[in-house]
């Protein structure tokens, strides 16, 4: 009986060590494909170049990772089904509340401790106009899809089969934050990674991870439509300035915390009441 149970257990990949190598692969891809920016920018502009560069930088490693995953585990697909679609609005509300009530205050503190060097600020401005369709598509569509395939669909999925949920979510979130390669996006990526990881663990759905990631990026990109030129990429406001002044700060934070608590509680109840998430030994889509 013990042998049979062992044979039926899903093969797990990657572990923590392999996950670190995946991060190194993604970073190396960014270096290898950096000449694409130099070649394409004069031809199609900086915004369109960003889209193609990002797809190459994340897409090629994803393909390589997928082949390794298929070889080591036999898994050929990913789970997209959502056990309870009623969790979607609560997940989106929770994402926005988390961004407003937790992430932005922590980012402001990080900016105070580690001021942004002008060289990095200029690098961010070189990304281009966030309202341009190519930049918008990169931030709101390409990034959530490709990054979630790697960090939740592969890394977290594998870690959950080898480690406790707490450790798997923490490690995957930490790696997700590290790959951004700067302390200011580290905070955002780590906290959002924890939330996305929790939802993925409770639902087994890559679609939910993509929806949350996309909702977060959409929310933080919307202000660009009301800003001048490259002001969106300036990372200098104090906490009060970020919210529009101290009179607005307190009620906004309070409302965000209330909505966050409400959405987390609602999600937890629906997760507990939803049908069991798919068995990892089952064939995936």
pLDDT tens for the chain, 285 residues: list them.
333 334 445 578 999 999 999 999 999 999 999 898 888 888 888 888 889 999 999 999 999 999 999 999 988 899 999 999 999 999 999 999 999 999 988 888 887 787 877 777 777 777 777 788 998 999 999 999 999 999 999 999 999 999 999 999 999 999 999 998 888 788 899 999 999 999 999 999 999 999 999 999 999 888 777 766 555 556 555 665 666 666 777 888 899 999 999 999 999 999 998 766 655 444 455
**What is the rounded CA–CA span in Å between residue 47 and residue 7?**
50
Model confidence over 207-247: pLDDT tens digits?
A: 999 999 999 999 988 877 776 655 555 655 566 566 666 67
**Alpha-helical regions (H) of 114-205:** 118-125, 133-137, 143-148, 157-160, 165-178, 183-203
Predicted local distance difference test score (pLDDT) of residue 132: 85
> What sign results for the dihedral spanned by CA atoms 137, 101, 209, 89?
negative
Q: Which distant-in-sequence residues (6+ apart) come within 8 Å of 52 by Cβ?
A: 36, 40, 44
């Amino acid at each position: 009986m013990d042998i049979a149970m062992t044979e039926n257990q899903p093969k797990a990949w990657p572990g923590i060590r392999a996950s670190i190598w995946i991060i190194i692969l993604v970073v190396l891809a960014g270096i290898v494909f950096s000449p694409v920016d130099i070649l394409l920018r004069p031809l199609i502009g900086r915004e369109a170049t960003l889209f193609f560069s990002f797809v190459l930088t994340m897409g090629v490693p994803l393909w390589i990772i997928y082949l390794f995953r298929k070889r080591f585990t036999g898994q050929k697909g990913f789970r997209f089904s959502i056990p309870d679609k009623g969790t979607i609005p609560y997940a989106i509300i929770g994402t926005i509340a988390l961004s407003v009530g937790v992430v932005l205050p922590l980012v402001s503190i990080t900016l105070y401790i580690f001021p942004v060097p002008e060289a990095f600020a200029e690098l961010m401005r070189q990304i281009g106009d966030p309202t341009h369709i190519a930049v918008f598509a990169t931030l709101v569509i390409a990034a959530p899809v490709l990054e979630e395939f790697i960090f939740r669909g592969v890394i977290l999925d594998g870690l959950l089969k080898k480690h406790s949920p707490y450790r798997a979510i923490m490690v995957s979130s930490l790696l997700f934050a590290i790959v951004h390669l700067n302390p200011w996006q580290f905070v955002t990526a780590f906290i959002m990674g924890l939330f996305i990881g929790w939802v993925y663990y409770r639902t087994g759905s890559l679609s939910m991870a993509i929806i949350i990631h996309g909702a977060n990026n959409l929310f933080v990109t919307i202000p660009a439509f009301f800003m001048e030129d490259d002001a969106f990429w300036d990372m200098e406001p104090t906490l009060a300035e970020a919210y529009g002044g101290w009179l607005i700060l307190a009620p906004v934070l309070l409302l965000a915390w209330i909505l966050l608590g409400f959405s987390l509680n609602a999600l937890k109840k629906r997760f507990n009441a939803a049908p069991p998430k798919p068995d990892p030994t089952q064939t995936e889509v």
